[in-house]
Amino acid sequence: MARKKECLRDMMEFFGVEFSEIEKKEESVGTCFKCDKEAHLYVSKKKNVFKCHRCGVNGNTSDFMDFIWSGLKELISDDNLHALAKFRRLPLEAFLNVEIGYRRGSYYFPVKTPSGRITDFRWYTLGKKEQSVTGAISGLYGIENIAKDHTKFDRIYICEGIMDAIGMNYLIKQNGANEIALSLPGVNNFKMEWAPYFLEQNVALLYDSDSAAVSGRNKVFSIMPPPMVKELKYVHWPAIMPTGYDINDYISSTAVKEGKYTECFNSLRAMLVNVGNEGNEESSNQDSPSMEKEWFIDRPVGIDELIGKYRLNLELNDNYVNAIRLCLATILSIGMRDKDPVWVFLVGPPGFGKTAILSSFKNCSTCVFQSSLSKQNLISGWKTENGKDPSLLPKLRDKTLILKDYTEVLAKHKTDRDEIFSILRGAFDGEVDRVFGNQQERHYHDLHFPALAGVTDEIQRFSQTSLGERFLKFDIHSLNIDQEAQQLKAVNTALFGLEDTEELSAFVNHFLLQEWDFSKNRIKQIYSESEYITKLNALCRLTAWIRTSVPREEFSRTNRVAYAPRKESANRLSVQLHKLAISLTIMEDKLRVDESIYKLLKKIAYNTVDGYGFRILKRLHTNGASSVVQINGDIQLAREQIYGILEDLQLVGLVEQDKFQTNGSSSVTHYYLNNEVKKLWALV
């Protein structure tokens, strides 16, 4: 299709310039718009330039627009703005910082080039559709705001009309989000030349609820599909919305009328879904499944309702419910952005629900979902043409890393695995620096992101030292589950449960984006008069002590101790478990830490140190002083291994030994808990 050419004469006539029928050398002759002298304004049809041979005013189309704009913006009055705000059902404040002109009952909005020159005026009369000025080249309203650095925004919204963009920008401002809304000159008028200003960015299309929106978003998809843009989403209006329902209707009826700006913003985000090539879809309302009415979530969602949505997809028992509670609390702990973030492994055999739970966060705007990790995608030394860093780490600021399968990391070659461990240890502590052979340098500071990862029991092969004592663990495996019912639910979800899965994803995203009070006063309230805080502190000291590892020489045939072990400080573990305690309390709308929360924290702590050493300690705690033979009777492990584990437990001071006389003349060595360990265990 041939590109529309600007016509300066048509534009001048639109704004009232009169031309005579006389033409000289392909020039139109008219009355000067500045000095008002007849037959002295000459306009070149070919070059689109003008000059008055009396007053000397001259220039091109942009110069004429600048002149017109100086007059239009002087004519706008407070009464005009009030009338516009009232008709659009938006607060007057939404229009105060917007460039608006006025002429003969219509409002004019300057549309600019990326460099900031006016290329068009979109004009609007109350009750009618927006239009472009005759003879102008239509542009993308607001493009000058992203031209210098589009990546400074977390998301760019593209609306159909300027009124929609103004309303959306007001909603963004009310929520303090680092986002921006632009406006097209028509739903099907996205131009190829605009694509570079959106590359590697999060883009969302806020089109109306009608058939034109389908072809409009497909056109954008054909011009800049992912990965040209980081993500391309569109607002999927519920089926109950009437044809023509738009973002202005949504904001005015939800945010403005009810004063629910945060709920409105969060619900809108929950309605954003990925754009695919929808083909010959006739109506955006017709592709909505029957349950989509519930996806339009304009109210707070509690934890019990959300767990109910999980039950539609998973066969849940108490252990799975606790795993979900833990995952949600881990993500919400970003509200306490500080050192020692919460990192959690969901541990269990394949097929026991780890992936199903973690995948429910795949489309959450506060999460970054990864199938696995490599040292290259964590920190990339690749030099991109635009100089942008393609690494994963910078994308994790203020997000939660969701890693579907950490077992793949454990299966890597030792060199690669150790490098990943090293990067993760640095990321946990907030700082990572790398210099590559191509002189590319990467420096990341103040990271501190929560993390959730699924892993099999293979993780037990690796010592806490190699992982740097960063991860907590939660054992998702449970014998108390109806495996037949679980199997049937899995099959039904896979074959018929797409609607339930999408609905769950929308509810999870909405739940996490709700307002959560992590203020100092709220946290102080949680810690007031709670017996479980004392228990939790004792639990942290005990767990950290049990987690203390014995350093042994890696290549020694006799597995010699490298140096005297020192008891691990409980500080890091305390910060993590206390963050979870606060998140769980706020998430479940409780006044303070209660028994239910403490039981979950206790399970996490014990799962974190679970292994034969911990099982031996539990045996000694329950049964008192015991011999190796007695321990072997309860813990099916070779006696030689039991002796080795007991040696480590003694080296870190958890266990002591003594010889007790038997009925005969010989004596038997018995092992028992250190008195301080006994006291801590009594407290928890």
pLDDT given at position 330: 96
Secondary element (H or E) of residue 493: helix 483-496
Tell the residue number behind the tokens 């479980």, with chain if given: 532
Q: Tell me how many helices (H) and strands (E) the chain has.
A: 25, 23
Backbone angles phi, psi at 309, to 5 degrees: -70, -35
d(CA 587, CA 582): 8
For 41, what's the count of Cα atoms within 13 Å in the CB-facing half-sphere? 27
Residue 243: how many other CB atoms lie within 10 Å: 12
Half-sphere exposure of 268 (CA within 13 A, CB side): 24
**241 CA to centre of own chain:** 27
Nearest to 396 by CA among 377, 419, 382: 377
Euclidean distance between CA atoms 449 and 430, whole angstroms? 8
Q: Which two tokens stand for residue 10?
A: 């048509």
The backbone torsions φ and ψ at residue 456, rounded to the nearest 5 degrees and listed phi first, read -85, 180
Residue ranges and CATH numbers for the domains of the chain are 8-61 (3.90.580.10), 68-295 (3.40.1360.10), 303-521 (3.40.50.300), 525-551+574-683 (1.10.10.10)
CB–CB of 344/330 below 8 Å? Answer: yes
Token pair, residue 109, equals 């909005």
* Beta strands 471-475 and 343-347, pairing class: parallel
Question: How big is the CA angle at 333 (ends 332 and 335), to the nearest 5 degrees?
Answer: 85
Q: What is the DSSP string of 126-169?
A: TTS--EEPTTPPP--BTGGGTSS-GGGSSEEEEESSHHHHHHHH
Q: In b/e form, how buried is each residue of 484-511, taking b as 16+ CB within 10 angstroms?
A: eebeebbeebeeebeebbbbbbbbbbbb
DSSP 576-613: HHHHHHHHHHHHTT-SS--HHHHHHHHHHHHHHT-SHH
Buried b (16+ CB within 10 A) or exposed e, 463-474: ebeebbbbbbbb
Instruction: Give the pairing type, strands 667-673 and 367-370.
Output: unpaired
* CA distance linking residue 267 with residue 510, whole number of Å: 6
Is the CB of residue 167 less than 8 Å from the CB of residue 261?
no
Rg (CA), the chain: 33
Confirm if 448 and 430 have CB atoms less than 8 A apart.
yes
Residue 16, Cβ density class (10 Å: 0-12 exposed, 13-18 middle, ≥19 buried) = exposed
Q: Identify whether the C-beta of residue 635 lies closer than 8 Å to the C-beta of residue 648.
A: no
Q: Which residues contact 665 (CB under 8 A, 6 or more apart)?
A: none
At 494 the pLDDT is 46
Look-up: residue for tokens 């026991």?
Answer: 352
pLDDT score at 469: 67
d(CA 121, CA 73): 12
Report, as ranges of residue numbers, the positions in the chain whose pLDDT lies below 50.
1-4, 277-294, 465-466, 491, 493-499
Q: How many Cβ atoms are within 10 Å of 439's Cβ, its own excluded?
A: 8
Sequence-ordered list of residues with C-beta below 8 angstroms from that of 191, at least 6 positions apart, any chain: 140
Count how many residues are written for the chain. 684
pLDDT at 479: 56
Nearest to 43 by CA among 14, 16, 10: 10
Residue 178, classed as helix, strand or coil, is: coil
Q: How far apart are CA 442 and CA 381, in angstroms?
A: 8
Residue 43 burial (C-beta neighbours within 10 Å; 0-12, 13-18, 19+): buried
Angle CA(215)–CA(216)–CA(222) in degrees, nearest 5?
Answer: 85
- How many angstroms separate the CA atoms of 329 and 331, rounded? 5
Cα gap 316→323, rounded to integer Å: 10
